[in-house]
Amino acid sequence: MKVGLNFIKEFFKVNVTAEELAEKLTMSGLAVESLKKEKNDWIFDIEVTSNRYDWLSVMGIAGEAAAALGKNVAINYPKVVSLSKYKDKKISIEDIKDCSVYTGRYMQNVRVGRSPGWLCERIRGCGVKEINTVVDIANYCMLKWGNPLHVFDADKIKGNIHIRRAKSGERFFGLDEKERRLATDNLVIADDEKIIALAGVMGAENTKVDDKTKNIFIEGAVFDPVCIRRSRRAVGIDTDSSYRFERKVNPAYLQFAVQQTVNLLVQLCGAKDMGACQTGRKKSIQHKKIILEFNKVREYLGAQLTDNIIKNILAGLGCDVKKHSVGKINVLVPQHRLDLLREVDLYEEIARFYGYDNIPTDIPVISNTVNREGLYHFKNKLRSLMITLGFSEIISYSFEDQKLLEELGYSRFVQISNPLRSQENVMRPTLVTGMSKVFAYNFNRGIKNCKFFEIADLYFRAKTITEKPFLAVGIAGGREEFLLLKGVFNNIVKYFNLDKIIFENKPINNFTNALVLKINGKELGFIGKLDSSAAKILGISSDFFFMQINVGLLMDIEKTKKYSKFTQFPAVSRDISVIMKNNTQFSIVENIIMQSGAEYISGIEIMEFYKGDKIEDDALACTVRVHYCAKDRTLRSDEVDHMDNAIRDKLLQCSDLQLR
């Protein structure tokens, strides 16, 4: 926002140079991006942050400048005159959410001419072009108080005034001499025959004030910020008025902005005030009361400020400061500071005006121990493991298309109340959709050898909405890729030192050959191949294998690792060939081997699978290599043979196993 120094001087006496004031403002957090000399004035170009709507008024900037210089502003509030109700026009508001209050003043016998020099200087210094006396006065009061106003030629308004949403396809010809097609997102001001303004954004050409205007109608209103933002974006207009309404205006100052406009019109244009009309109700702004403790201020800022310095800074910001108890004060926040809600907000204000450069620079004391516990650190460990295993991490959107999920058989969604896109209207209940989009994107560009993982939250609706972290792992290819995915899970189990796992055949929606992963009787996740119908819906053209694991449950069952020394003695290996009948799981073979010689078995590995001659159709041959090793000596051959024979005897006792 641009503002001239002479405009600021209307509120207090500035006894420093423009350069010094710019430096003070910048150091207090109100960044002056540029400073230029124009004729008899200095123009400050100030960056306004989104949470400080009060900086969109010269009064707000003057208050900051006065506080930075240790002074107080003198605000000359105009006396609000109570007039008889103007009955010739009725005002109706279609939806009070769009416009909480709408007020109007009717004035007769207005002389429209050229504005005096001081008025032109004030608005020109704020980057606003002068037009005529009436419009310039309205712009001056908007800039001063921060409340946008609009002035209509009253004789061009037909009938009553209606604040409503536009009908789809209605036309609006604005003061910028451009015609626009409106939609229901647009809030308009209309009379009984036509649209006379795009509410909070721009007036219409059909009611503009010109040299022939004799009677005027002054509009002052409080519009909903979201409504104005959507309306402005829909037609591609950005104005000084919409810029302020989008960031909120202070309803308490509306009456002063309107009254000063009336006073200046009477003074400069010879106008006669004929009455007022109003619909709606101004939202009352409660003065926020915050209890501030002096010692906490000093502790938070790391500076030894005296109690008086703290009180003077707050008083300079317009706060009403009163004693609460020993070492504490009650701070009543001024109406225009809606951003001051908590004690910590006051800490920031005190720091700004005490001066960041006056706060000593100290190196904080940091503990030499680092907490490596909790979900955040567990996710990092899991992420490092997956990268070590050769997988690349992806990040997909948490939003998903409800229609797509319904096609895949999902239901009971967590709905998004105000989605930005219709295709992103629910929170995801699975990670397969996001991962499949990444695979499809790579497949379509000729990249086939993809191995991805993602650690992200899923959202479920039951009696309540729950959010849980999950790991998803995806890989494309043939049967060997399914085994690779199973091996990834085994690595996860080993890395987090978990108990023995169970793979259980169980139908999983959208997957074939699915295995549910169980540990200690709890379902940890599943592995499966995406079935053809789901692959078609998700745009996957090749075999796609997927694993999803509950990270929260995985963290809960993680066990502390125990480390032991490497043995210096060599291992001895023996191979055992087994025929597994009736789709027997390999875990049965593994458990028998480990239980038969657990003390000296250092490892098991599968050497090969075989299916063919002399192997029945429902059976599978497997060669297993067992490694034996002792920690205190080299095992003799006869000892190894004895353990090997014991294992073979145990395997033969299982009816679904046969030795080759």
> Are 169 and 276 in the same domain?
yes
Q: Which pLDDT belongs to residue 463?
A: 84
529, 557, 585 - which closes a domain = 557
Give the Cα separation of 128 and 594 in Å (integer). 85
> Are 185 and 120 in the same domain?
yes
> Long-range pairs for 330-334 at CB < 8 Å and ≥24 separation?
330/289, 330/290, 330/291, 330/292, 331/289, 331/290, 331/291, 331/292, 332/287, 332/288, 332/289, 333/287, 333/288, 333/289, 333/290, 334/287
> Are 317 and 457 in the same domain?
no
- Asked if 315 contacts 323 with a C-beta cutoff of 8 angstroms, the reply is no
Residue numbers of the chain with a pLDDT score lower than 70: 83-84, 283-285, 364, 367-372, 478-479, 500, 559-563, 582, 597-598
Type of residue found at 226: V
**Domain assignment of residue 369, yes or no:** no
**Domain assignment of residue 565, yes or no:** no
> Are 392 and 473 in the same domain?
yes
**Domain assignment of residue 486, yes or no:** yes
> Are 130 and 223 in the same domain?
yes
Helix (H, G, I), strand (E, B) or coil at 519: strand
Q: Which pLDDT belongs to residue 119?
A: 96
Closest CA to 256 of 451, 501, 75, 468: 75
Closest CA to 320 of 306, 335, 309: 335
pLDDT tens-digit profile of 447-456? Answer: 878 899 999 9
254, 280, 306 - which closes a domain = 280
- Asked if 4 contacts 125 with a C-beta cutoff of 8 angstroms, the reply is yes
Q: Which residues contact 623 (CB under 8 A, 6 or more apart)?
A: 575, 576, 577, 578, 606, 607, 608, 610
For residue 33, give both structure tokens. 């991006």
The CB density around residue 334, as the number of other CB atoms within 10 Å, is: 17
**Domain assignment of residue 564, yes or no:** no
**Domain assignment of residue 175, yes or no:** yes
Q: Which pLDDT belongs to residue 368?
A: 65
Task: For CA atoms 364, 369, 374, 376, give the dihedral sign.
Answer: positive
> Are 146 and 19 in the same domain?
no
> Are 248 and 312 in the same domain?
no
329, 357, 385 - which closes a domain = 357
> Are 353 and 406 in the same domain?
no
Give one DSSP letter per residue of 331-400, joined into a string.
Answer: EE--TT-TT--SHHHHHHHHHHHH-GGGS---PPP--S-----SHHHHHHHHHHHHHHTTPEE----SEE
DSSP code of 88? S
Q: Which pLDDT belongs to residue 480?
A: 73
**Domain assignment of residue 364, yes or no:** no
Q: Which pLDDT belongs to residue 420?
A: 81
- Give the residues across from 34 on adjacent strands: 45
- Asked if 291 contacts 343 with a C-beta cutoff of 8 angstroms, the reply is yes
CATH of the domain at 264: 3.50.40.10
CATH of the domain at 386: 3.30.930.10
CATH of the domain at 59: 3.30.56.10
CATH of the domain at 589: 3.30.70.380
> Long-range pairs for 23-27 at CB < 8 Å and ≥24 separation?
24/65, 24/68, 24/69, 25/64, 25/65, 25/68, 27/68, 27/355, 27/356, 27/357
- Give the residues across from 216 on adjacent strands: 107, 153
Pairing label, strands 32-38, 544-550: unpaired
**Domain assignment of residue 82, yes or no:** no
Give the Cα separation of 255 and 269 in Å (integer). 20
> Are 389 and 424 in the same domain?
yes
- Asked if 620 contacts 603 with a C-beta cutoff of 8 angstroms, the reply is no
> Are 42 and 167 in the same domain?
no
Give the Cα separation of 291 and 293 in Å (integer). 7
> Are 406 and 500 in the same domain?
yes
pLDDT tens-digit profile of 381-421? Answer: 999 999 999 999 999 999 999 999 999 999 889 998 888 88
For residue 6, give both structure tokens. 């002479």
Q: Which pLDDT belongs to residue 36?
A: 93
Q: Which pLDDT belongs to residue 201?
A: 96
**Domain assignment of residue 20, yes or no:** yes
Question: What total number of domains does the chain contain?
Answer: 5
> Are 253 and 114 in the same domain?
yes
Give the domain extent around 323: 289-357
